Protein backbone atom coordinates (compact mmCIF):
# COMPACT_ATOMS: atom_id res chain seq x y z
CA UNK A 1 0.00 0.00 0.00
CA UNK A 2 2.87 2.33 0.77
CA UNK A 3 4.47 1.63 -2.64
CA UNK A 4 1.24 2.59 -4.43
CA UNK A 5 1.02 5.91 -2.54
CA UNK A 6 4.61 6.70 -3.33
CA UNK A 7 4.07 5.98 -7.03
CA UNK A 8 0.96 8.13 -7.10
CA UNK A 9 2.82 11.04 -5.58
CA UNK A 10 5.61 10.65 -8.12
CA UNK A 11 3.11 10.55 -10.99
CA UNK A 12 1.38 13.69 -9.79
CA UNK A 13 4.76 15.42 -9.52
CA UNK A 14 5.71 14.48 -13.07
CA UNK A 15 2.32 15.64 -14.35
CA UNK A 16 2.75 19.00 -12.62
CA UNK A 17 6.20 19.42 -14.11
CA UNK A 18 4.84 18.57 -17.57
CA UNK A 19 2.03 21.08 -17.27
CA UNK A 20 4.49 23.70 -16.11
CA UNK A 21 6.72 22.90 -19.06
CA UNK A 22 3.80 23.32 -21.44
CA UNK A 23 2.44 26.56 -19.96
CA UNK A 24 5.73 28.39 -19.60
CA UNK A 25 6.17 30.68 -22.64
CA UNK A 26 9.52 31.43 -24.06
CA UNK A 27 10.62 35.03 -23.61
CA UNK A 28 9.90 37.14 -26.63
CA UNK A 29 12.09 39.84 -27.92
CA UNK A 30 10.74 43.36 -27.42
CA UNK A 31 9.41 44.88 -30.61
CA UNK A 32 11.84 47.58 -31.59
CA UNK A 33 10.47 51.02 -32.21
CA UNK A 34 10.21 51.98 -35.85
CA UNK A 35 13.46 53.30 -37.19
CA UNK A 36 12.99 56.72 -38.64
CA UNK A 37 15.35 57.61 -41.42
CA UNK A 38 15.62 60.80 -43.27
CA UNK A 39 15.84 60.54 -47.05
CA UNK A 40 19.34 59.46 -48.03
CA UNK A 41 20.19 57.97 -44.60
CA UNK A 42 22.94 55.33 -44.60
CA UNK A 43 21.67 51.69 -44.61
CA UNK A 44 24.93 50.65 -42.90
CA UNK A 45 23.83 52.54 -39.80
CA UNK A 46 20.48 50.71 -39.78
CA UNK A 47 22.20 47.30 -40.15
CA UNK A 48 24.47 48.10 -37.22
CA UNK A 49 21.41 48.86 -35.08
CA UNK A 50 19.95 45.43 -35.99
CA UNK A 51 23.16 43.57 -35.06
CA UNK A 52 23.33 45.39 -31.75
CA UNK A 53 19.73 44.36 -30.97
CA UNK A 54 20.51 40.68 -31.75
CA UNK A 55 23.64 40.62 -29.58
CA UNK A 56 21.80 42.22 -26.67
CA UNK A 57 18.60 40.15 -26.67
CA UNK A 58 19.99 36.98 -28.21
CA UNK A 59 17.02 36.65 -30.54
CA UNK A 60 16.46 37.35 -34.19
CA UNK A 61 15.17 40.87 -34.67
CA UNK A 62 11.91 41.21 -36.55
CA UNK A 63 11.97 42.80 -39.99
CA UNK A 64 12.96 46.42 -39.82
CA UNK A 65 10.29 49.03 -40.42
CA UNK A 66 11.69 52.15 -42.02
CA UNK A 67 9.61 55.31 -41.87
CA UNK A 68 10.70 57.87 -44.43
CA UNK A 69 10.30 61.46 -43.40
CA UNK A 70 9.31 63.56 -46.42
CA UNK A 71 11.33 66.65 -47.09
CA UNK A 72 9.49 69.90 -46.43
CA UNK A 73 8.21 71.56 -49.60
CA UNK A 74 10.40 74.27 -51.04
CA UNK A 75 8.53 77.55 -50.90
CA UNK A 76 9.85 79.96 -53.54
CA UNK A 77 10.65 83.45 -52.38
CA UNK A 78 8.23 86.07 -53.64
CA UNK A 79 9.43 87.94 -56.69
CA UNK A 80 10.64 91.45 -56.02
CA UNK A 81 8.52 93.85 -58.03
CA UNK A 82 10.26 97.18 -58.57
CA UNK A 83 8.29 100.19 -57.50
CA UNK A 84 6.84 102.15 -60.39
CA UNK A 85 8.75 105.27 -61.33
CA UNK A 86 6.56 108.27 -60.61
CA UNK A 87 7.38 111.30 -62.75
CA UNK A 88 6.20 114.72 -61.62
CA UNK A 89 4.41 116.14 -64.68
CA UNK A 90 5.47 119.66 -63.69
CA UNK A 91 9.17 118.78 -63.91
CA UNK A 92 10.61 119.72 -67.28
CA UNK A 93 12.90 117.31 -69.14
CA UNK A 94 16.62 118.05 -68.82
CA UNK A 95 18.20 120.23 -71.51
CA UNK A 96 14.85 121.61 -72.61
CA UNK A 97 15.89 125.22 -73.09
CA UNK A 98 15.25 128.45 -71.22
CA UNK A 99 12.76 131.30 -71.25
CA UNK A 100 9.31 131.32 -72.79
CA UNK A 101 8.88 128.21 -74.89
CA UNK A 102 6.96 125.06 -75.78
CA UNK A 103 8.57 121.77 -74.73
CA UNK A 104 7.58 118.45 -76.29
CA UNK A 105 9.00 115.14 -75.00
CA UNK A 106 8.76 112.32 -77.52
CA UNK A 107 9.56 109.72 -74.88
CA UNK A 108 6.93 110.93 -72.40
CA UNK A 109 4.43 112.05 -75.06
CA UNK A 110 3.86 115.23 -73.06
CA UNK A 111 3.85 118.97 -73.78
CA UNK A 112 4.73 121.84 -71.41
CA UNK A 113 3.93 125.54 -71.93
CA UNK A 114 6.61 127.56 -70.12
CA UNK A 115 6.44 131.29 -69.41
CA UNK A 116 9.23 133.88 -69.32
CA UNK A 117 10.19 133.01 -65.75
CA UNK A 118 10.64 129.32 -66.55
CA UNK A 119 7.43 128.32 -64.77
CA UNK A 120 5.15 125.69 -66.29
CA UNK A 121 1.74 127.22 -66.99
CA UNK A 122 0.21 124.11 -68.55
CA UNK A 123 1.19 120.50 -69.23
CA UNK A 124 -0.73 117.65 -70.84
CA UNK A 125 -0.43 114.34 -72.67
CA UNK A 126 -0.36 114.24 -76.46
CA UNK A 127 -0.03 111.73 -79.28
CA UNK A 128 3.03 112.28 -81.43
CA UNK A 129 4.27 110.39 -84.45
CA UNK A 130 4.39 106.62 -84.57
CA UNK A 131 7.24 107.03 -87.06
CA UNK A 132 10.77 108.31 -86.45
CA UNK A 133 10.33 111.51 -88.44
CA UNK A 134 10.93 114.27 -85.87
CA UNK A 135 14.45 114.92 -84.60
CA UNK A 136 15.07 116.36 -81.12
CA UNK A 137 16.19 119.97 -81.26
CA UNK A 138 15.11 123.60 -81.03
CA UNK A 139 12.55 124.98 -83.49
CA UNK A 140 10.25 127.99 -83.79
CA UNK A 141 6.59 128.36 -84.77
CA UNK A 142 6.47 129.07 -88.52
CA UNK A 143 2.78 129.40 -89.32
CA UNK A 144 -0.73 128.86 -87.93
CA UNK A 145 -4.01 127.72 -89.47
CA UNK A 146 -7.33 127.73 -87.63
CA UNK A 147 -8.91 125.08 -89.89
CA UNK A 148 -6.66 122.71 -91.83
CA UNK A 149 -6.94 119.69 -94.13
CA UNK A 150 -4.76 116.58 -93.96
CA UNK A 151 -2.02 116.38 -96.58
CA UNK A 152 -3.74 113.37 -98.16
CA UNK A 153 -7.21 114.95 -97.81
CA UNK A 154 -8.33 112.09 -95.57
CA UNK A 155 -9.62 114.39 -92.85
CA UNK A 156 -9.50 117.75 -91.12
CA UNK A 157 -8.04 119.29 -87.97
CA UNK A 158 -8.19 122.59 -86.06
CA UNK A 159 -5.76 124.96 -84.32
CA UNK A 160 -2.77 123.89 -86.39
CA UNK A 161 0.48 125.43 -85.05
CA UNK A 162 3.37 124.42 -87.36
CA UNK A 163 7.03 124.51 -86.31
CA UNK A 164 8.86 122.33 -88.88
CA UNK A 165 8.34 120.35 -92.07
CA UNK A 166 8.32 116.60 -92.55
CA UNK A 167 8.95 114.54 -95.67
CA UNK A 168 5.40 114.94 -96.96
CA UNK A 169 3.85 117.75 -94.93
CA UNK A 170 4.42 120.31 -92.17
CA UNK A 171 4.67 119.08 -88.58
CA UNK A 172 2.98 120.90 -85.73
CA UNK A 173 0.41 120.84 -82.95
CA UNK A 174 -3.34 120.53 -83.56
CA UNK A 175 -6.41 118.88 -82.10
CA UNK A 176 -7.33 115.23 -82.70
CA UNK A 177 -8.18 115.12 -86.42
CA UNK A 178 -11.40 113.69 -87.78
CA UNK A 179 -11.97 111.64 -90.90
CA UNK A 180 -14.13 113.15 -93.62
CA UNK A 181 -17.18 111.38 -92.16
CA UNK A 182 -16.62 113.14 -88.82
CA UNK A 183 -15.19 110.15 -86.93
CA UNK A 184 -12.22 111.08 -84.67
CA UNK A 185 -8.99 109.32 -85.62
CA UNK A 186 -8.38 108.44 -81.97
CA UNK A 187 -9.88 108.96 -78.53
CA UNK A 188 -8.81 111.41 -75.85
CA UNK A 189 -8.05 108.41 -73.61
CA UNK A 190 -5.39 107.30 -76.10
CA UNK A 191 -3.40 110.50 -75.68
CA UNK A 192 0.02 109.61 -74.30
CA UNK A 193 0.55 107.02 -77.05
CA UNK A 194 2.28 107.86 -80.36
CA UNK A 195 -0.41 107.40 -83.01
CA UNK A 196 -0.01 110.13 -85.63
CA UNK A 197 1.89 110.20 -88.90
CA UNK A 198 4.01 113.16 -87.81
CA UNK A 199 2.10 115.89 -85.99
CA UNK A 200 1.34 116.20 -82.29
CA UNK A 201 -2.33 115.60 -81.48
CA UNK A 202 -3.96 117.34 -78.52
CA UNK A 203 -7.31 117.36 -76.74
CA UNK A 204 -9.51 120.23 -77.92
CA UNK A 205 -9.01 122.41 -74.82
CA UNK A 206 -5.23 121.88 -74.97
CA UNK A 207 -5.20 122.70 -78.68
CA UNK A 208 -6.91 126.01 -77.88
CA UNK A 209 -4.32 126.74 -75.17
CA UNK A 210 -1.50 126.01 -77.62
CA UNK A 211 -3.15 128.22 -80.24
CA UNK A 212 -3.19 131.14 -77.79
CA UNK A 213 0.35 130.50 -76.52
CA UNK A 214 2.19 129.53 -79.70
CA UNK A 215 2.40 132.69 -81.75
CA UNK A 216 4.70 132.80 -84.78
CA UNK A 217 8.31 132.85 -83.59
CA UNK A 218 7.62 131.02 -80.31
CA UNK A 219 10.45 128.63 -79.39
CA UNK A 220 9.64 124.92 -79.55
CA UNK A 221 12.06 122.47 -77.92
CA UNK A 222 11.72 118.78 -78.82
CA UNK A 223 13.42 116.27 -76.50
CA UNK A 224 13.91 112.53 -76.98
Residues 101, 60: Cα–Cα separation, whole Å: 100
Q: Quick one: DSSP state of residue 184?
A: B
Name the strand (E) or helix (H) holding 4. helix 2-23
Q: Which of 199, 200, 209, 221 is catalytic?
A: 199
pLDDT in tens, 133-174: 999 999 999 999 999 999 899 999 999 999 998 777 899 999
Q: Taking the domains of the chain in order of start, what are their residue ranges?
A: 34-70, 101-223
CATH superfamily of 101-223: L,D-transpeptidase catalytic domain-like (2.40.440.10)
Q: Which of 101, 110, 144, 174 is catalytic?
A: 174
pTM above 0.85, yes or no: no
How would you classify the pairing of strands 101-105 and 110-114? antiparallel
pLDDT in tens, 101-117: 999 999 999 999 999 99
Residues 107, 111: Cα–Cα separation, whole Å: 11
User: Is 3 noted as a catalytic residue in this protein?
Assistant: no
Amino acid sequence: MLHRATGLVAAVGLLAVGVAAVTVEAPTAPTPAPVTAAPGASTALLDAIDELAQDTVGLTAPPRRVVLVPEPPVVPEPAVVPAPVVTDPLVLPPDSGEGRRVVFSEGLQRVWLVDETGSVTRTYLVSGSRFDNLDPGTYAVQSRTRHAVAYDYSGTMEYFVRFTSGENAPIGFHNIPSYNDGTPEQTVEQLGTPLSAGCIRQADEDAVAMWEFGQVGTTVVVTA
